[in-house]
Each structure stands twice: as structure tokens, then as C-alpha cells.
Structure 1
Amino acid sequence: MNEFKELTKAEEQIMHELWEMGGGFVKDVIERLPEPKPAYNTVSTIVRILETKGFVTHISFGKSHQYRPKITKEEYKKVITGKLLTNYFDNSPKRMLSFFLEEKQMDIKELDDILALLNKHK
């Protein structure tokens, strides 16, 4: 399943809600979105695009559909992280970590946690 297309910001927002809920109807997704809420047709269109891209599937209940994630958040995270590592850090985790440190996107506590993880996996 490494051939996913990347999600747009709107698609990703919808997927996060579906992952969190484990699935739901369009109205359920809309209820969880922040204000200002998008129109029903907008969310419905995005969900159908997600289905076309292979991210969700549906079960029909008459004229309505319940949508469920077809891939897990973890699966998508691996693909996106792999693309980030390959496309921006020359496949070097060291360069990626260095970037986050230099950009001050990690604090000392997080760095200590990473060091503890590294020591655990030695």
C-alpha cells in the first residue's frame, strides 16, 4: 500500500476525523469539524474523492453511506514520513533530526526522550 496519493489539507482533516471515529456518515464528520463548518456537499465530495483515492470505503444504508477508513493512520504516517525523509532529507534520519533541532522544534525533554529510546534499542 505504498502507492497512496498524498492528501490535500482538506482531505487530511476529513481522514483524521474518520480515523478518530473509526468511520461515520458525512453528517458525523461535519459535527466534529471546527467552525465555520463546511457545507454538507463539500464534505460529501471530499469523502467521495477519498474513496476514489483508496483511503475510504463505504457501506450503503438506503440512500446514505457510512464511510470507513480503508487504511490506518499508521500506514499513512509511514508513507508520508518516508516521502518526507526521501524528498527533503536525502533518506537520512540524522539530517531530519538535525533539521528539527536547528529549527528549535524540539525541546530538551523531547531530546532526552529520543536519547532514552536510542539507548533502549541499542
Structure 2
Amino acid sequence: MNINSLTTAEEKLMTVLWKLDSFYMKNVMEDHPEPKPHQNTVSTYLKILVEKGFLSTSREGRIFKYKVVIPYEDYRRFLLRNFLTQFCNNSPEELLNLLQKEKILQPQSVKPIEKADVKPKKEKKKQRFKIAEEILKTGKKKKKKKK
């Protein structure tokens, strides 16, 4: 799925739309926090969001029913990957360092994450060697049987 970037205003509107999931224009106007934008403004943004692929429409008489196509979690992953690529050289470690420098993340809260990441990697390497050893042992046994 190809996801496009949203402007700040589009993101603010999408936060309302993600909660609604399937809606009419009147639902958007009711659920939008104060200060509420003009209905024409919301209508324009809905058209843009349809063009960008975030919403789909179905016509019910004279009005449109909208449905969210790109879930919030997918957009969040898209933003994180873009941020990693543009500002952290595609390095999660650099992101962690940045979060620590900005005092958003405390160093002690990173330690459990590092430990959790290291253990599975070591176990996977051991398992690979066990499989290789079994294959090599099996090959040696076959050669001994042939002699």
C-alpha cells in the first residue's frame, strides 16, 4: 500500500476520522473539536483525502458516506519509517540516542529493550549451528557406512 504524507491540517482532521471509521459529513462536524472549521473547509479536505487514498466514498442518495482506507497504525508506521530514513540514517540506534539526548527517553528504560533484543539473536545463532552440526554428522555417518 502506497501512503502519501499529510499536511498538519489533514492530520488533525484524520485524527477525528480514524475515530469515526465510517461516517457522513454531519458526523465529522459533530465530532470535530472546537473551534470547528467551516463545512466547506471540511468538504474540501475530505475530497483531498479521497484523492490521496486515505478515504473511500460511496454515494447514498444525494450525500456521500466516507470510509477510512488507511488505518491509523499504518500511517504511524509510515511516519516512523520516514523519520528514521530522513533524520536518523535509517538507524534505530540513532533514534534511541536522539530520544535520550532530548530527554524524552531515560537511559534506564532502554536497558530492558537492549537485553530483550540480544537474547533472541544469540539463541538463533546457536540453533543454526546445531542444525549445521546435525547435517554434518549425518553426512559423516553416511560416508562411514559406505566404506
TM-score where L is the length of structure 2? 0.72
| 1:39 counterpart residue number | 38
Task: Indicate the structure (1 or 2) with the bigger Cα radius of gyration.
Answer: 2
Post-superposition shift, 1:107? 4.7
Post-superposition shift, 1:80? 1.2
| 2:136 counterpart residue number | none
Structure 1, gaps ≥5 residues long: none
Any idea what SS the aligned residue of 2:16 has?
helix
| 2:84 counterpart residue number | 85
| 2:5 counterpart residue number | 6
- 2:17 is equivalent to residue 18 of structure 1: yes
- 2:59 is equivalent to residue 53 of structure 1: no
- The alignment covers a number of residue pairs equal to 118
Any idea what SS the aligned residue of 2:56 has?
strand
| 2:71 counterpart residue number | 72
Amino acid at match of 1:28: N
Matches within 5 A, 1:109-120: 112=109, 114-120=110-116
Query: Which protein has the bigger helix share?
Result: 2
1:43-102, Cα deviation, whole Å (9 max, x unpaired): 011011000011100121111111111111111111111110000100011111111111
Amino acid at match of 2:26: K
Query: Using a 3 Å threshold, how does the CA distance of structure 1 residues 107 and 33 change in structure 2: closer, same or farther?
Result: farther
TM-score where L is the length of structure 1? 0.85
Q: Write out the 4+ residue segments of structure 1 that deviate beyond 3 Å after TM superposition.
A: 114-122
Amino acid at match of 1:25: Y
Structure 2, gaps ≥5 residues long: 120-147
